[in-house]
Amino acid sequence: MVSKKTKNVRLLISLLVIFCVGWLVVAATTSHTNKKDSVSTTTKNNVAPPVVSLSSSVDLSVAQSTSLNVAIDTGDSNNIGKVEYRVDGQLAAVSYASPFSATIDISSLSPGKHELTIIAYDASGNASQPKVYSFNVAAKASDASGNTPQTTDQNSSSASLVKKIAPITTPILGQPSDTTPPTKPTNFTVEQSAEHDVRLTWSAATDNVGVAGYQIWRGGQKLATTTGTSFTDTNALPGDAYSYAVTAYDVAGNVSDSSQPVTVTLADITIFNNTDTPPTTAAADNNGIEVGLRIRPSVDGYITGVRFYKDTGNNGTHVGNLWTTSGTNLGSVTFTNESATGWQAARFNTPVQVTAGTDYIVSYYAPNGNYAATSSFFNSSYFSSQYLVVASPSETGTASVYDYAASPTFPQSNYQNANYWVDATFSPSTVVSAPTSFAACPAYPAFPDATCTGVAPGSTLIPYHGSLTITHDNMTLYNMDVTGTVNVRANNVTIENSKIHDSTPGIGVYSGDATIRNSEFYNIDETAVGYTNWKGYNLNIHDMLGDGVKLGDNTDLEDSYIHNFTPGTGSHSDGGQMQNGSSNIIVRHNNINGLGGNSALFFAPDLGPDGTGPITIDKNLLDGGGFTLAIVDGNNGQYHQAGYTVTNNHFLRDFAYGPLHINEPLANFDSWSGNVWDDTGEIIPNPAF
């Protein structure tokens, strides 16, 4: 990593060079013109509004159902920066790239006539004349006749049939009478895909006119509609059983027979997966011992049993226990039918009700020792479930406990935060899910701020003190207030509606990948989010001691607000910083204010190697820093980054030296256009051109 001191020296050298040859730069930019500069000037001076019309591929003569697919005529795409679609006067979708298509959700519209309005904007912000089109929404495929799909209780057998819905035979306006329902969906499959996610797939139905969509049913109640042939239920409770079915409907409201219902039982929540195993053999200890783990449910629910990993030699009768932290036994169970090695499980006769935010001790008694043990495992916390976590040693003083005894006993001793590979099975009472009513950020040329970024107002967050390490694929983390670092070492991790603060760094993606949405970061050194293979949307990052985000391969920051830097003396703090030659970086439609820091955005492949891109910097509001946007070579010219596209960015004037510091050659830029002063709209040219 390049030191802060080295970067500051480089900055001073750059300033000296700029001041010494300033009159040459002014003269060059006054007399020098090229093709790209001419294009930018043309864009700025363009006052003729664009012309837009609906694509001929969009047929509004037929009644629409749950979604409306729209696009403009491709012949109108020239010089258009974005297209807004409004339904009945309300903004419904915005598209920024040709053919400026969008899918609009119209499932909540009443049947009958509605209006679609299209407005296009060019790079200078000129708006087209609104084009208004009429379309009809089909009558809802509902239970207007009083008949609804029925199954038995959600825990019933999958052999139960779903009753067919009587078709709606009222003709749709402008359509011929159609009373033929679609065929029923086939090849219906149901499987658990995450802690509280159930994935449904099926083969498409057919219809004499056309299938408009599908209805998803759970336990006899309509859960959702979709136009595709798959759906994920994200609100199922772990440990519970659910019966699902799917029906197809057409634009006339005719509904098919139901698919064969399928029942799935979701697994209980556990700390460890079955694939998690000790890295070494059992401890060479033949004494009777009780070993345990301090756990904390994040929601109310039930501990249904105890698990432990068994190694060779761990013989005899094992007893699982659940305790309060003061030593009251809440449940006990004797293990039977054990295998020679591997995970063993036993369920309490009566599940034990537990309370959110309260710590418990889960343990088991090994009469002949030879228990699995991994020293120092919990020096940093272990976070594998949204619902059940290992209590942080930094908060409680210990995560694991043990005590030698001749019979089962309450364990209280600790040794090197070892992991004894004991676990609980937990069934939560409520689903932890992120809010669905996040505020949308205004479309370009407006920019994000605190009103559309960060945690949803009024959210109830689950506090956690200490670092979290996520090692399980498909992990979801919602509604957390983490005082510490989140380390990502798993695939397809989602973090949403959470606060992360007082740490170094905030979220570090070291392997796998992560998507972070609507979250807030503050009082963090190093970076709020880094380093590769992450996507961040609607993030509010403020009061940073280090960088806002570290940008590496396959990173994407959009609709976010980075502001109010508070770096230490001599610190090199950037809103977004790239240190390695990289590919696939997107920084789009953010408000990045580098006041108090070095730059709003700083791109320098100082750590190598050469980077090929693409690097997209588009539609951002940038301000502050010594130079607001710095795009320079790496390690004093040893490394270079190619593939820059820098377009439609707006610059404010609160910088120390200038809006740009660029020394990468023209060949390393794929595009530079539409970058302007925010107050005047005047084009800012690239000095490399």
Question: How do the domains of the chain map onto residue ranges?
Answer: 67-136, 138-267, 289-428
Q: In the numeric block, which tokens belong to residue 84?
A: 């807004």
Pairing mode, if any, of strands 468-470 and 329-334? unpaired
Q: Which residues pair with 644 in a beta bridge?
A: 615, 669
- Residue 404 pLDDT > 90, yes or no? yes
pLDDT of residue 647: 97
If one looks up domain 289-428 in CATH, what number appears?
Answer: 2.60.120
Q: Which residues pair with 368 in a beta bridge?
A: none
3-state secondary structure of 603: strand
- Between 254 and 84, the more confident residue is 254
Q: Is the Cβ–Cβ distance between 237 and 196 less than 8 Å?
A: yes
If one looks up domain 138-267 in CATH, what number appears?
Answer: 2.60.40.10
Cα–Cα dist 617/623, whole Å: 14
Cα–Cα dist 531/512, whole Å: 11
Question: Picking from 152-156, 387-391, 550-554, which range would have the lowest pLDDT averaged per residue?
Answer: 152-156
Cα–Cα dist 661/18, whole Å: 10
Q: Which residues pair with 352 in a beta bridge?
A: 303
- Between 422 and 147, the more confident residue is 422
Q: Is the Cβ–Cβ distance between 64 and 112 less than 8 Å?
A: no
Q: Which residues pair with 332 in a beta bridge?
A: 321
Q: Is the Cβ–Cβ distance between 473 and 490 less than 8 Å?
A: yes
Confidence class for position 555, pLDDT limits 50, 70, 90: very high
Give burial (CB, 10 Å; 0-12/13-18/19+) of 192.
middle
- Residue 490 pLDDT > 80, yes or no? yes
- Residue 10 pLDDT > 60, yes or no? no
Q: Is the Cβ–Cβ distance between 466 and 485 less than 8 Å?
A: no
- Please say whether the dihedral angle defined by the alpha carbons of residues 33, 39, 43 and 45, taken in this order, is positive or negative: positive
- Over 327-355, what HEC string results? CCEEEEEECCCCCCCEEEEEEEEEEEEEC
pLDDT of residue 382: 65
pLDDT of residue 133: 85
DSSP 666: G
Looking at residues 358-386, what average pLDDT do you find? 87
Cα–Cα dist 396/392, whole Å: 6
Q: Is the Cβ–Cβ distance between 126 and 52 less than 8 Å?
A: no
CA distances (Å), origin 464, targets 151, 273, 343, 485: 41, 22, 28, 11
- Between 142 and 366, the more confident residue is 366
Task: State which of 392-396, 470-474, 482-486, 673-677 shows the largest mean pLDDT.
Answer: 673-677
Q: Is the Cβ–Cβ distance between 139 and 168 less than 8 Å?
A: yes
Q: In the numeric block, which tokens belong to residue 517?
A: 């949405």
pLDDT of residue 22: 37
pLDDT of residue 27: 32
- Residue 644 pLDDT > 70, yes or no? yes
- Between 155 and 121, the more confident residue is 121
- Residue 580 pLDDT > 80, yes or no? yes
CA distances (Å), origin 191, targets 196, 200, 236, 244, 405: 11, 7, 12, 11, 44
What are the residues whose beta carbons fall under 8 Å from the beta carbon of 31, sequence distance 6 or more?
Answer: none
pLDDT of residue 125: 62
pLDDT tens digits for range 447-463: 999 999 999 998 888 88
- Residue 169 pLDDT > 50, yes or no? no
Work out the mean pLDDT of the chain and round it to a whole number. 84
pLDDT of residue 155: 35
Q: Is the Cβ–Cβ distance between 663 and 632 less than 8 Å?
A: yes
- Residue 248 pLDDT > 90, yes or no? yes
- Between 662 and 43, the more confident residue is 662
Q: Give the phi and the psi of residue 45 in degrees, each rounded to 5.
A: -85, -5
pLDDT of residue 618: 98
Extended beta strands in 153-300, E state: 186-194, 197-203, 211-218, 221-226, 230-233, 241-250, 262-265, 289-297
- Residue 476 pLDDT > 50, yes or no? yes
pLDDT tens digits for range 75-132: 655 678 778 888 887 777 777 677 778 888 887 787 878 888 888 877 656 777 788 8
Note the Cα 462 to chain centre separation in Å: 18
Whether the bond into 665 is cis, omega within 30 of 0:
no
Confidence class for position 528, pLDDT limits 50, 70, 90: very high
Same fold? 67-136, 289-428: no
pLDDT tens digits for range 257-278: 999 999 999 999 999 988 888 9
Looking at residues 299-325, what average pLDDT do you find? 95
pLDDT of residue 29: 32
- Residue 479 pLDDT > 50, yes or no? yes
Task: State which of 85-89, 145-149, 217-221, 360-364 shows the largest mean pLDDT.
Answer: 360-364
Confidence class for position 317, pLDDT limits 50, 70, 90: very high
Looking at residues 562-576, what average pLDDT do you find? 87
What are the residues whose beta carbons fall under 8 Å from the beta carbon of 523, sequence distance 6 or more?
Answer: 501, 502, 543, 544, 545
pLDDT of residue 396: 72
pLDDT of residue 78: 65
Looking at residues 643-671, what average pLDDT do you find? 96
- Between 56 and 641, the more confident residue is 641
pLDDT of residue 566: 87
> Counting every residue, how long is the chain?
689
Confidence class for position 542, pLDDT limits 50, 70, 90: very high
Q: Write down the pTM of the prediction.
A: 0.67
What are the residues whose beta carbons fall under 8 Å from the beta carbon of 450, sequence distance 6 or more?
Answer: 540, 561
- Which amino acid appears at position 352 of this protein? V
- Residue 379 pLDDT > 80, yes or no? no
Q: In the numeric block, which tokens belong to residue 198?
A: 């159930």
Q: In the numeric block, which tokens belong to residue 538?
A: 């609607």
Question: Picking from 41-55, 190-204, 532-546, which range would have the lowest pLDDT averaged per residue?
Answer: 41-55
Cα–Cα dist 148/230, whole Å: 21
3-state secondary structure of 378: helix
**Termini Cα distance of the chain:** 30
Q: Which CATH entry fits the domain spanning 67-136: 1.10.3720.10, 3.40.50.1970, 2.60.40.10, 1.10.260.40?
A: 2.60.40.10
Cα–Cα dist 452/662, whole Å: 32
DSSP for 490-559?
EEEEEEES-EEEEESSSEEEEEEEEEEES-EEEEESSEEEEESSEEEES-EEES-SSEEEE--TTEEEES
pLDDT of residue 563: 96
